[in-house]
Structure 1
Amino acid sequence: MLSALEVITTVVVGLMVGVEFSVAFVINPILSALPDDASQMGHSHGGRMLGAVMPFWYIGSLVLAALWAVAGWHHHGTGLVITAAALLIVSVIMSLLLLVPINNRNKAWTPENRPEDWKEQLNRWDRWHYVRVAVIVGAFTLLVTALV
């Protein structure tokens, strides 16, 4: 049972890291290179689409890591799993306080109603997202290390 939980947690967190890495280093640079209207509409659509899924993914990853820490309390690597869970908590807090407010505004924008500083707001989101990606990569690395 513990082995299955370890594998499931690592895969779920690993997939989340892959998606968020792709957003940071592939999708957003592509969208930002498009003409303004297309760029803004693409960011807005991405914000709606991923904004609907990612809260469950982040919280689910945290719950899985917490379950692993509790179930494997007396096993080797539990400290690493607890530290990974703490990093996932940091990522959730960052999301709620820094990224979600910008995303909530962005997903409602259209070329007709976007604010003058929409690019600056998206750039701020990107900067915080890079930090969040680093945090979840750290959590994933700790989980993988705990497996070995």
Structure 2
Amino acid sequence: MLGTLGPLGTLEVVTTVLVGLMVGVEFSVAFVMNRILDALPEDSAQLGHAHGGRMLGALMPYWYGGSLVLSVIWAVAGWHHPGAGLVLTAAGLLVVSVVMSVLLLVPINNRNKTWTPEDRPADWKRQLHRWRRYHHVRVGVIIAAFTLLVAAR
């Protein structure tokens, strides 16, 4: 099926699906997984957050980076096609999400993923709440990027 779309159409579909899946994972973290973890006893909640930080922290840089690269390729390859401005704007929003990640979320996550109940800082909950606020904003940014990619397709 993708072969019948041509190279640009295939790029559009693959990019849109990749970004859509990323949005789904990040939305789930924000509005499902964090609530589940927060309902666990304190030590279990903190251990779950640390494990999630390690697991997703290893994967998400590639996912965000790959989504951004594919969006930029789409914007360049489809420059003279309808929707190119939407794709370029989506790529810009993905840049914002990467910058937010590097400057705001990753430093907190890098601390969080090493904590144990024995050595976590006294303000660990406050740090996780700050991470969550930044994450909610980032989720909004990537939802907007995804919406633009869908509209451009």
Unaligned segments of structure 1, at least 5 residues? none
Deviates more, 1:17-26 or 1:27-36: 27-36
Q: How does 1:49-60 map to 2 (within 5 A)?
A: 49-60=55-66
Distance 1:119 1:29 in 2: 13
Matches of 2:67 and 2:96, distance apart in 1: 12
Matched residue, 1:30: 36
**C-alpha distance in 2 between matches for 1:146 and 1:81:** 6
How far did residue 33 of structure 1 move?
A: 1.2
Of the three residues 21, 24, 28, the one matched with 1:15 is 21
Q: Distance in 2 between matches of 1:124 and 1:33?
A: 18
Q: Among all aligned residue pairs of Structure 1 and Structure 2, give the percentage whose two residues are the same amino acid.
A: 73
CA distance in 2, matches of 1:144, 1:116: 44
Aligned length: 147
What's the CA shift string for 1:67-125, capped at 9, x where partnerless?
A: 00010010000000000000000000000000000000000000000000000000000
Structure 2 counterparts to residues 1-148 of structure 1, below 5 A: 1-147=7-153
What is the TM-score with the length of structure 2 in the denominator? 0.96
In the alignment, the residues of structure 2 paired with residue 31 and residue 126 of structure 1 have an alpha-carbon distance, to the nearest angstrom, of 13
Deviations 1:38-86 (A, max 9, x none): 0000000000000000000000000000000010010000000000000
* Runs of 4+ residues deviating >2 angstroms: none
TM-score for both structures, normalised by structure 1:
0.99
**CA distance in structure 2 between the partners assigned to 1:61 and 1:5 by the alignment:** 11
RMSD, matched Cα: 0.3
